[in-house]
Structure 1
Amino acid sequence: MRTSQPYQPGLRTHAGLALLALVYIFSYIDRQAIAVLIEPIKREFAVSDTAIGSLSGVAFAVLYAGLGVPIGKLADRANRRNIVALCCGLWSLATMACGVSAQFWQLFLARMGVAVGEAGGMAPSVSLIADMYPPQRRSLMLSVFMLGPNLGVLVGLAAGGWIAQTHGWRAAFLFFGAPGVVLALLVRLVVREPQRGAFELAPAARAASRPLRAQLSRLWSIRALRFLCLACASAGVASYGYGIWATTFLVRTYGVTLAQAGFVFGVTSGVGAIAGALFSGVLCDRLVAHDRRWQLALPMIGIALSIPAVLAFLLWPATGAWHAGALAVPHAMVFALLFSFFASWFPALSYAAASQLVNADERSTAASLVNLFLTLFGVGLGPLVTGVLSDRLTPLYGHDALRYALVGTMTILVATVAFYAAALNPYRQRLAAMHAAASQPA
């Protein structure tokens, strides 16, 4: 049993967390910037919603998901900080390459380059944070890290729309890609590689030395982790479909400009999601002290509450708005705010749950497995399915086709609630078994 700990979280630890969170913010800015650039890209290259769905989804998801697990496996044995720094520099350069693409196929390839880099960002970072903080603080600290998508949406959409409207869509990619190169250097210089399993009850077994296929098979046999992966997959389809197309939905439905849609949606969704992520992280750390199942029950409840909110946002009549000067804020944005607040509960709490279900030297692989499902199905299918549905429904509903395509995509959240519910008892049983095994004398 561990009798001492090599360090306690201090100023440098918190600075490392802040840098990792900043890297994740820019990864999402680079990833999501395309959401506010759909209309100008579509006009310049004369492509369909289906093609745009492929660009924003499949072009990214296949490589991101395919490389994420091997890189996660590598991160369970190699220096995680260096992997994050290298990958951050790579995806930032690829984002800038998007801005100089002269043909649609070149943009497609550049987006794949972004995916190659970002494949090595999430899982090593989750593993780092899990070893930087003790278990009773991980949900909150991972929630701070997971502010990345929320702040990325806020900045990417709000600033991206203005940059695209003022300087052109290519400039947005260049503006957002350049800071990542600097961040990569800062991560390499500032972030410390912590000892693996520093805060665990017992030393970790050397699971990372197993062949990848055998390790993945063993992880998949953990029932709680299996249901967690399926929950994240279904939530991802809805979340990414919504995130990529919601700005375009505002432009087409409410007739607002690209800059206005990006600002209104970015600020509304970003503020709601930031508040929701922090609230759920603090609440979860308190509730799990009484019952460990709250780690998965909270995201289940959040998703359940998000469903009526998002349907109200999508189906609300396109009339009525608040005005602040030239800016019009549709009344329906209240429901977008509520959706973002509740839907933001699931990512950080799910990754924290995955880190609790495995030994310290398997955390990157477990996180990458969850990320595989979230990305392959979410990024890969969410935007594409929504785009295909929009094209198919256009003859029936005209400019409202995207509205009903999004409604169809969001209904998959019902399955997400069911998968989280199925994971609750297996999760508690798994943690109890791990604790009993770690308590046995060597």
Structure 2
Amino acid sequence: MRNRPEPAVTARTHLSLALLALVYIFSYIDRQAIAVLIEPIKQEFGVSDTAIGMLTGLAFGLLYAGLGVPIGRLADRGVRRNVVGVCAILWSVATIACGLAGQFWGLLLARMGVAIGEAGGMAPSISLVSDLYPRKRRSLAISLFMMGPNVGVLVGLAVGGWIAQQYGWRATFLWFGAPGILLGALVLCLVREPVRGGFDALPPGAGAPARPLLGQLRHLWAIPALRYLCLACGVAGVSSYGYGVWVPSFLVRTHGMSLAHAGLVFGVTSGIGAMAGAMFSGWLCDRLVQRDSRWQLALPMIGVALAIPAAFAFLLWPAAGHWLAGTVRIPHALVFALAFGFFASWFPALSYAAISQMVPAHERSIAAALLNLFITLFGVGLGPLVTGFLSDTLNPLYGPQALRYALAAAMSLLCLTVLLYALALNPYRRRLASLAMPYPA
């Protein structure tokens, strides 16, 4: 029974949401901009595609995935606003350090600093947003916050490519790092720390299990539907992150584009496709699950299945044909990149929503963190590295076209994702029945 007044939503609440969303957008800009800087970094330091895969993937992914859970636990015990603000300043300073690196190992260390900072950004922000708004407005607030990746990819690639073309790759890191320091300071000064569970009927921590962290993770892993879902998203992450990091270089090598040109057309195409696909799939899923709860996983499975031929068409389409939009040359293949962005965007948000349905309320954060661990560790950690390694391996046979076939090989892993989603369908429905948790009307 509530024994405290319900907090109010004010202009300060909306300002807090806007600042947190901007911080999340810039985290993705700082994370994604490196994709359009691969070619000049390779030329300056004389490193292989495998080394670039280590820089863009494993060096970032291991730290980001490994530190996300402990930093989240720290935020649960302290002031979440301070965690987000300090981490934003940290990753922004590390981004600037990337632009000042004189040797490849220095760039690698700075990139690891970006990962350490960003590991403390998303989870505390989600917790903050959840306590800033009442339940009936919370989904919309979190949806607005979660637009960060799509906007960040678009800006990171399109604007980052233009900056690199005009002022050099180092300037891109400097330009994108500086605003994050200001945003982190604004979060510390202006974002209010809400009462934990202030809008909820139960006090914070009510019904929390007594299991230690490792015991709780083992308990969650024993749920078949959750296990299949984590594996499906992890495998999809290998393909999608390798695709996101290496496609700008593919457009440079295969389609003869400049950095600015590749970043602009790929960033805009992918960003528009992904934003449209995410909104459409969420709208469609809310309707289909009323008939059968398995649509929560069937729809992302279908999206991945449709994304596979779109990816192959984009990567293998001849480089000769193009349209002109003013003075901008747009290869015909970009139509399939738009389609891939649309369909591939179905699986992340719908999978996180499925996680929230198959566990009790007091386990949703740790279950979502477990899913994020798989996506990050497999996707960010292995996706760019595996693709870069395949490109180096195929280079003696295909020369500059090796990256084309390396990306196609990485995309073939999505077939395994489709299979894992299919295996999860019936266990997911049984899990909901065991919890007496049908999909809410």
Q: Does TM-score exceed 0.5, indicating one fold? A: yes
Give 2:420's aligned amino acid.
Answer: F
C-alpha separation between the residues in 1 aligned to 2:198 and 2:411? 38
Question: Per-residue displacement from partner, 1:189-245 (whole Å, max 9, x unpaired)?
Answer: 225435339557997545476422122112222222222211210111011000000
SS in 1 for 2:100: coil
C-alpha separation between the residues in 1 aligned to 2:380 and 2:348? 14
Are 1:75 and 1:364, in contact at CA under 8 Å, matched by a contact in 2? no
Identify the range of structure 1 (128-137 vs 117-126) with the bigger mean alpha-carbon deviation: 128-137
Pick closer, same or farther for the CA change 1:144–1:68 going to 2, 3 Å.
same
Pick closer, same or farther for the CA change 1:168–1:436 going to 2, 3 Å.
closer
1:49 aligns with 2:49: yes
Identify the range of structure 1 (68-77 vs 320-329) with the bigger mean alpha-carbon deviation: 68-77
Question: Per-residue displacement from partner, 1:44-95 (whole Å, max 9, x unpaired)?
Answer: 0010111101100111011111111222333444443332222222111111
Give 1:154's aligned amino acid.
Answer: L
Give 1:84's aligned amino acid.
Answer: V
SS in 2 for 1:408: helix
Pick closer, same or farther for the CA change 1:10–1:304 going to 2, 3 Å.
farther
Alignment of 1:293-372 (within 5 A): 293-372=294-373
Name the counterpart of 1:378.
379
1:186 aligns with 2:186: yes
Give 1:427's aligned amino acid.
Answer: Y
**C-alpha displacement of 1:11:** 5.5
C-alpha separation between the residues in 2 aligned to 1:134 and 1:39? 47
1:146 aligns with 2:146: yes
C-alpha separation between the residues in 1 aligned to 2:228 and 2:9? 32
C-alpha separation between the residues in 2 aligned to 1:354 and 1:132? 22
C-alpha separation between the residues in 2 aligned to 1:220 and 1:257? 46
Name the counterpart of 2:21.
21
SS in 2 for 1:37: helix
Question: Per-residue displacement from partner, 1:92-123 (whole Å, max 9, x unpaired)?
Answer: 11111111111110000000001101111222
SS in 2 for 1:99: helix
C-alpha separation between the residues in 2 aligned to 1:291 and 1:191? 41
C-alpha separation between the residues in 1 aligned to 2:193 and 2:204? 20
C-alpha separation between the residues in 2 aligned to 1:40 and 1:183? 29
**C-alpha displacement of 1:292:** 3.5
C-alpha separation between the residues in 2 aligned to 1:420 and 1:18? 35
Q: TM-score, structure 2 length as denominator?
A: 0.90
Are 1:139 and 1:285, in contact at CA under 8 Å, matched by a contact in 2? no
Pick closer, same or farther for the CA change 1:81–1:297 going to 2, 3 Å.
farther
Question: Per-residue displacement from partner, 1:244-275 (whole Å, max 9, x unpaired)?
Answer: 00000000001111110110101111111111
Name the counterpart of 2:173.
173
Pick closer, same or farther for the CA change 1:430–1:316 going to 2, 3 Å.
same
Question: Per-residue displacement from partner, 1:359-403 (whole Å, max 9, x unpaired)?
Answer: 444433222211111111101111011001001111111111100
Pick closer, same or farther for the CA change 1:143–1:298 going to 2, 3 Å.
farther
RMSD, matched Cα? 2.7
Alignment of 1:15-164 (within 5 A): 15-130=15-130, 141-164=141-164
C-alpha separation between the residues in 1 aligned to 2:403 and 2:75? 40
**Where does structure 1 lack aligned partners over 5 or more consecutive residues?**
438-442
Pick closer, same or farther for the CA change 1:225–1:391 going to 2, 3 Å.
same
Are 1:163 and 1:172, in contact at CA under 8 Å, matched by a contact in 2? yes
C-alpha separation between the residues in 2 aligned to 1:287 and 1:186? 41
Name the counterpart of 2:229.
228
**C-alpha displacement of 1:136:** 7.5
**C-alpha displacement of 1:343:** 0.9
**C-alpha displacement of 1:336:** 0.3
**C-alpha displacement of 1:145:** 2.8
Name the counterpart of 1:271.
272
**C-alpha displacement of 1:137:** 6.7
C-alpha separation between the residues in 2 aligned to 1:140 and 1:435? 26
Give 2:150's aligned amino acid.
Answer: N
Name the counterpart of 1:393.
394
Are 2:304 and 2:417, in contact at CA under 8 Å, matched by a contact in 1? yes
Are 2:135 and 2:199, in contact at CA under 8 Å, matched by a contact in 1? no
Identify the range of structure 1 (133-142 vs 311-320) with the bigger mean alpha-carbon deviation: 133-142
C-alpha separation between the residues in 2 aligned to 1:362 and 1:204? 11
**Where does structure 2 lack aligned partners over 5 or more consecutive residues?**
none
Question: Per-residue displacement from partner, 1:389-424 (whole Å, max 9, x unpaired)?
Answer: 001111111111100000000111111122222223
C-alpha separation between the residues in 2 aligned to 1:249 and 1:125? 34
Give 1:383's aligned amino acid.
Answer: P
Corresponding pairs, count: 437
Are 1:276 and 1:342, in contact at CA under 8 Å, matched by a contact in 2? yes
**C-alpha displacement of 1:435:** 4.6
SS in 2 for 1:322: strand
Name the counterpart of 1:440.
none
Are 2:236 and 2:379, in contact at CA under 8 Å, matched by a contact in 1? yes
Q: TM-score, structure 1 length as denominator?
A: 0.90
C-alpha separation between the residues in 1 aligned to 2:103 and 2:224? 46
C-alpha separation between the residues in 2 aligned to 1:373 and 1:197? 31
C-alpha separation between the residues in 1 aligned to 2:105 and 2:309? 39
SS in 1 for 2:383: helix
Are 1:36 and 1:247, in contact at CA under 8 Å, matched by a contact in 2? yes
Alignment of 1:233-248 (within 5 A): 233-248=234-249
Are 2:95 and 2:174, in contact at CA under 8 Å, matched by a contact in 1? yes
SS in 2 for 1:323: strand
Identity of aligned pairs, percent? 68
C-alpha separation between the residues in 2 aligned to 1:146 and 1:426? 28
Identify the range of structure 1 (146-155 vs 375-384) with the bigger mean alpha-carbon deviation: 146-155
Are 2:131 and 2:194, in contact at CA under 8 Å, matched by a contact in 1? no
